Amino acid sequence: MNMNASLLSLAIWVPILGAVPVFWIGSERRTLVRWLALAVAVAGFLVTIPLYTGFDTALSGMQFVEQTPWITRFNVEYLLGVDGISMPFILLNSFITVLVVLAGWEVIEDKQAQYMGAFLIMSGLMNGIFSALDGVLFYVFFEASLIPMYIIIGAWGGPNRVYAAFKFFLYTLLGSLLMLVALIWLFLESGGSFNILDWHQLPLGIKPQILIFIAFLISFAVKVPMWPVHTWLPDAHVEAPTGGSVVLAAIALKLGAYGFVRFSLPIVPDAAHQMAPMMIALSLIAVVYIGFVALVQTDMKKLIAYSSISHMGFVTLGFFIFNAIGIEGALVQMISHGFISAAMFLCVGVMYDRMHSREIADYGGVVNTMPKFAALFVFFAMANSGLPATSGFVGEFMVILGAIKFNFWVGFAAATTLILGAAYTLWMIKRVVFGEVANDKVAKLKDIGNREFLILGLLAVCVLAMGLYPFPFTEVMHASVDNLLKHVAVSKL
Amino acid sequence: MLNNFVTPDLYPAAPEIFLLLMAFLVLFVDLVFGATHRWMAAMLTVITLFGCAAITLVTSDGQTTLTFSNMFVDDLLSDFLKLMTYLAVIMMLVYSRQYMADRGLDKGEFYVLVLFATLGMMVMISAANLLTMYLGLELMSLSLYGLVAIDRESPRATEAAMKYFVLGALGSGLLLYGMSMIYGATGSLEIGGIAQALYQDQAERSALVFGLVFLVAGVAFKLGLVPFHMWIPDVYHGAPTAITMFVGSAPKIAAFAMALRLLVYGLFGIAEDWQQMLLVMAVLSIGLGNLAAIAQTNIKRMLAYSAISHMGYMVLGLMAGVVGGRVEAFTALNAYSSALYYTIAYVMMTLGAFGTVLLLSRAGYEAENLEDFKGLNQRSPWFAAMMLIFMFSMAGIPFFIGFFAKFAVLLAAIKAGYTMVAVIAVMFSLVGAFYYLRVVKLMYFDSPVDSAPITAGLDLRVLLSLNGIAVAAFGLFPDQLALICYTTLARSL
């Protein structure tokens, strides 16, 4: 048996099992706990690297497949596998986890062991979501990941954390419970299989297709989040600690979008085609309307949260215009947004740690006291508004191209984001970073240290590399996306 | 006359006989040594239950044996349910040892009544005749009435016992009335004979259905289904916590056996009639139980309403055995084994939840308000984690046993074509998630109000830990228990 055979299991269970000693040591021995958590996170990232290096880009099917019976009573299997669509997210997730552990190095003073452990567990569960090919296994990971996030928001969050934590949990649970019913229905309809790949081949009438699509839609739309079920996100982001916001924005939001590609499009393609106009409309509302909403925010985290919703609108738009460049663009956008939103939240976190305020009005002239930080912050802001040569440009550009191919006016509406995104991000930057030093507190700010520089620097390298040379990212997903499109084009009726 | 007397085969009833003899022994030991050596009665009780388990295991041959002129049945199902009952009672005794001792309630009567109640449950589980069923039920109920009132000084407990007695007697009366009608309609008291009469279509239809209504009402009383649930909150609240734990755990197994024996073994021929009644009561129980639990500030009352909703789920599985009047062995087995699975899972979770309440109680202090859970994570991270497991398991969040129990029930319900009912059920479990999450919130997000050290003994701590680990382990590896439930029923029906 070669090493490749259990790589995905390692990606899932190394962080989860690694969290056990972290909890065990307890928060009293801070130094040990931190270094151990970092070691686990790094190990968790290292085991995912062979997934990329050993990936065969010519294949469109699942790779690194693991299959063992899990619940024979209901024919549920422990079935893991990745294709070009899901593999990058496992790497992204494991990478972000390392940064999150680093970001919580000093600022988390209360129950640090539990904080680190919760993130490690969540990292493993997220990897499970991206690699599960069995409906129940997917659902189990999907829902279990709510537990650590609930605790993270509620235990280490801001003043209104309890409200935010409940809202986050119940909103997401609402969606996933309906998905559970749909999964069971599919199990019975397919004659007793929970294998997602079997479901891809399952012929279905249009009426059940629409119902299943709606069940999945509610579940994934809450997670993405799409307008109008997005209202939990600003609350959760604002109240969550920096690490929580980072994981939410960089990874958790991608789960919903990933669900569309893995479930909605291939399982119910006809319903997806029929519902596409609605999906496109909702996506455009997210892009344009939420963009305007972001413009008027006074709280930096809230602004970035709305900007996330707006960017995720691009992703769903890319999926439902059904052409290769749109879907690939959406996937690139997902990864790029993973880097950029993580960086933006970390930047706000850096300032919040020093000033304990997220209000834009409390800042001004930060560049005078924190030049190194300001340079990075401005760079990420540019990336967030889609500046060419950053990763933010590639994804948006591809989706807009795809959208124009589909319909000029859809593409036109989507393109307004380039103006809106630049407007809200750069206006915030202008008010926070530039200008005169606003008050004494800003005057006393200390620039970022080596640890913070390392975190942000790594992300900056990723953003730049992906913007200048996106080929390694698009290369791996190409075959899988083609395959998906071919599959979606065939009617199941 | 005496010539006709056939000595019954006592072998199948060996555990019951052993328990009865030992109960007298405990009574006697308590009389002689009770004042000086209280531990002897406790020790003997636990030994008795282990002895019963050993006898049940040794005498279990997997065959269905009828004895006492077809009044008593020993099959694989009864063996399995009895073993679960012993386990639940032993756990209850260990959990409650210190609690009862601190309050001076660990008198001989306590142990004798517990043993008699257990005997009643065993008779119910093995009943093959309506009279045996009633006999077992009354033995159990009367012992439980006594147990609820065991704290003579507490007016609240006395009131609860009074309510329990009056309503319980009403329930028994309804059941007895229903039994007499069914006897009138079919001419048989034997459960097998009733099934035979229904199969041959010899029963007087109107009397039968009339009797069925009373019978179902009686069963619903004992299970605590809406609208026959009134006694549950008051009894759970009023009784000493250890007794609440007893009332809430093992008798549910017996009540499940009663429902199964009467409705499935006996009245399967008119399944379509009782199915409708159970369906309505299941939905009402899930709805009302979950909604009312939100308003509670007392954890015992909250768990009481949660018990109502859980029994609703269990019954949802029980009623899904027949699809549109057609009997299909696979569907029926699926449904009944899901209900059995749910019952076992529920008993495991409920023991743990009350165990945590007992953990926090100490001499002269009842930790029964939700407030008492505040900041448990700071007082004891380990037991907070255990309670977190119980709460998320009850809410039906994976990876815990509660999820797979709900999953099995939903699968059975959807397979029987009750998709809309399943949707309603999951929507109410969303409501239910709120109050379980609230307990987690109190433990993890709030600061403790009561910072007294936890004084519970080692036995309770170890058992609670094992209980929590079991709930998690059966969630990670749910296959074995699900298979056991399935095969047990497959070989006993």
Rounded CA separation B277/B220 (Å):
10
Residue partners of B40: CB distance under 8 A and separation at least 6 = B29, B30, B33
Measured between beta carbons, the chain A residues lying within 8 angstroms of B483 are 72-73
How much is the pLDDT for A1? 42
How much is the pLDDT for B449? 82
User: Measuring CA to CA, which residue among A115, A139, A309, A324 is closest to residue A221?
Assistant: A309
Q: What is the pLDDT of residues B221-236, one digit of tens each?
A: 989 898 888 899 999 9
How much is the pLDDT for B265? 87
Q: What is the pLDDT of residues B416-459, one digit of tens each?
A: 888 889 999 999 989 989 999 999 998 888 888 877 778 878 88
pLDDT above 50: residue B358: yes
Nearest CB among A73, A161, A185 relative to B445 is that of A161
How much is the pLDDT for B2? 56
pLDDT above 60: residue A3: no
Name residue A268's amino acid.
V
pLDDT band, residue A372 (cuts 50/70/90): confident
Q: What is the pLDDT of residues B461-471, one digit of tens each?
A: 999 999 999 99
How much is the pLDDT for B114? 93
How much is the pLDDT for A4? 60
Q: Chain A closest CA to B316's CA: distance in Å? A: 15
Give pTM, 2 decimals. Answer: 0.91
Nearest CB among B445, B482, B483 relative to A155 is that of B445
Mean pLDDT of chain B: 88
Q: What is the pLDDT of residues A56-86, one digit of tens each?
A: 888 878 888 888 888 888 888 888 888 888 8
Measured between beta carbons, the chain B residues lying within 8 angstroms of A181 are 410, 414, 419, 422-423, 426
How much is the pLDDT for B370? 85
A-chain residue closest to B337, CA distance: A73
Mean pLDDT of chain A: 86
Q: What is the pLDDT of residues A162-175, one digit of tens each?
A: 888 898 899 889 88
How much is the pLDDT for B4? 66
Residue partners of A198: CB distance under 8 A and separation at least 6 = A190
User: Measuring CA to CA, which residue among B467, B489, B481 is closest to residue B87?
Assistant: B467
How much is the pLDDT for B392? 92
A-chain residue closest to B430, CA distance: A174
pLDDT above 90: residue B175: yes
pLDDT above 90: residue B345: yes
Give the residue, A418 or B166, on which the prediction is more confident: B166
What percent of chain B clears pLDDT 70, i.e. is strictly above it?
A: 98
Q: DSSP code of A446?
A: P
What percent of chain A clears pLDDT 90, i.e. is strictly above it?
A: 7
DSSP per-residue letters across A62-85: -EEEEEEEEEGGGTEEEEEEE-TT
Whether residue A184 and residue B483 make contact (CB cut-off 8 A), yes or no, is no
Give the residue, B438 or A362, on which the prediction is more confident: B438
Measured between beta carbons, the chain B residues lying within 8 angstroms of A174 are 430
Q: Chain B closest CA to A448's CA: distance in Å? A: 30
What percent of chain A clears pLDDT 70, i.e. is strictly above it?
A: 99
Whether residue B440 and residue A151 make contact (CB cut-off 8 A), yes or no, is yes
Nearest CB among A147, A162, A187 relative to B445 is that of A162
Name residue B442's amino acid.
L
Residue B310 structure tokens: 């859980």
Q: Chain A closest CA to B150's CA: distance in Å? A: 40
How much is the pLDDT for B324? 66
Whether residue B433 and residue A173 make contact (CB cut-off 8 A), yes or no, is yes
A125 part of contact set with chain B, CB < 8 Å: no
B263 burial via Cβ count (<10 Å: 0-12, 13-18, 19+): buried
How much is the pLDDT for B132? 92
B310 DSSP β-pair partners: none
Whether residue A73 and residue B482 make contact (CB cut-off 8 A), yes or no, is yes
Whether residue B479 and residue A72 make contact (CB cut-off 8 A), yes or no, is yes
Nearest CB among A69, A150, A188 relative to B415 is that of A188
Nearest CB among A73, A143, A178 relative to B483 is that of A73
pLDDT band, residue B140 (cuts 50/70/90): very high
Measured between beta carbons, the chain B residues lying within 8 angstroms of A73 are 478-479, 482-483, 486
A156 part of contact set with chain B, CB < 8 Å: no
Q: Chain B closest CA to A345's CA: distance in Å? A: 23
pLDDT band, residue B351 (cuts 50/70/90): very high
B-chain residue closest to A178, CA distance: B423
User: Measuring CA to CA, which residue among A324, A357, A329 is closest to residue A442?
Assistant: A357
Whether residue B422 and residue A184 make contact (CB cut-off 8 A), yes or no, is yes
Residue B312 structure tokens: 């609703």
DSSP per-residue letters across B429-491: HHHHHHHHHHHHHHHHHS--S--PPP---HHHHHHHHHHHHHHHHHHHS-HHHHHHHHHHHHH
Name residue B195's amino acid.
A
CA dihedral B178, B179, B185, B189 (to 10 degrees): 170
HEC letters along A309-368: HHHHHHHHHHHCCCCHHHHHHHHHHHHHHHHHHHHHHHHHHHHHHHHCCCEHHHCCCHHH
Whether residue A177 and residue B430 make contact (CB cut-off 8 A), yes or no, is yes
